[in-house]
Amino acid sequence: GESVGLHLPTLSVQEGDNSIINCAYSNSASDYFIWYKQESGKGPQFIIDIRSNMDKRQGQRVTVLLNKTVKHLSLQIAATQPGDSAVYFCAENSGGSNYKLTFGKGTLLTVNP
Amino acid sequence: NAGVTQTPKFRILKIGQSMTLQCTQDMNHNYMYWYRQDPGMGLKLIYYSVGAGITDKGEVPNGYNVSRSTTEDFPLRLELAAPSQTSVYFCASSPRDSGRRGQFFGPGTRLTVL
């Protein structure tokens, strides 16, 4: 079946470094990809999205890259801070009128001071 | 706006008991969703609704029921609770005009079935 997955389940970085979290997807019909951040004990929080007709989108300290050729999505966090420590999920919206999302398993990002 | 609110935050049930997880959103979103999240896993869709009076099954609907009598509320009912339903449950909502861009999540309900 269609799935969204992650290459790295855990990532540990030093404060101030840049972080890159990767995600592979398999549904070529997906038209939106979204990154969520989930802190311990909380619900997922929207970070940034990208439409399938784009290959890059930037937000505040975050950049999402989309490579449709290899069905790969990445989230780059610049100057990573301790407050960025969380689980990061990618999700894809595979179209249709119900806006259902398919989530990956998540990557745990730990930022060391 | 309070966004998406869920009650209770925590609950322990005995096998065979029933309960209703409450979800309310004040953003006038048409679409609402229920997910469960097992430890170390992503979110799996249980049920969703595209508007009041309309509900449909997601990926893992067995053992659950929902109703959507108003735009704001989307309760999830567990009948005959089983240990396999031990999980964290998240409710989410999205607007019709930009829902494809993502959903807004509540804080979750942590349920343990013993």
SS3 A75: strand
Q: Determine contact, residues B91/B33, Cβ cutoff 8 Å.
A: yes
Q: Which of B9, B21, B12 is nearest to B114 (CA)?
A: B12
Which chain B residues touch A99 with a CB distance below 8 Å?
Answer: 31, 94, 99-100, 103
pLDDT tens digit sequence for B75-96: 999 989 999 999 999 999 998 7
**pLDDT score at A11:** 93
Chain-chain contact of B100 with A106 (C-beta, under 8 angstroms) = no
Q: What are phi and psi of B101, to 5 degrees?
A: -85, -5
Q: Determine contact, residues B20/B31, Cβ cutoff 8 Å.
A: no
How does residue B99 score in pLDDT terms, banded at 50, 70 and 90? Answer: low
Distances in whole angstroms, Cα of residue A54 to Cα of each of A33, A45, A73, B96: 11, 22, 12, 22
Tokens of B52: 């009041």
**pLDDT score at A4:** 56
**pLDDT score at A76:** 98
Apex B20 CA angle, B17 and B21, nearest 5: 125
- The residues, any chain, with a CB within 8 Å of residue A14's CB and separated by 6 or more, are A80, A111, A112
Nearest CA in chain B to A91: B102
Chain-chain contact of A42 with B48 (C-beta, under 8 angstroms) = no
Weakest-pLDDT range from B8-12, B66-70, B97-101: B97-101
Q: Determine contact, residues A80/A88, Cβ cutoff 8 Å.
A: no
Low-confidence residues of chain A, pLDDT below 50? 1-3, 6-8
* Binding-site residues on chain B for chain A (CB distance < 8 A): 4, 31, 33, 40-45, 48, 50, 56, 58, 90, 92, 94, 99-108
**pLDDT score at A2:** 40
- Report the C-alpha gap between A72 and B31 in whole angstroms: 28
pLDDT tens digit sequence for B12-70: 999 999 999 999 999 999 999 999 998 878 899 999 999 999 999 999 999 999 999 99
- Expressed in angstroms, the distance from the first to the final Cα of chain B is 36
DSSP 8-state secondary structure symbol assigned to residue B27: S
- Report the C-alpha gap between A85 and B8 in whole angstroms: 26
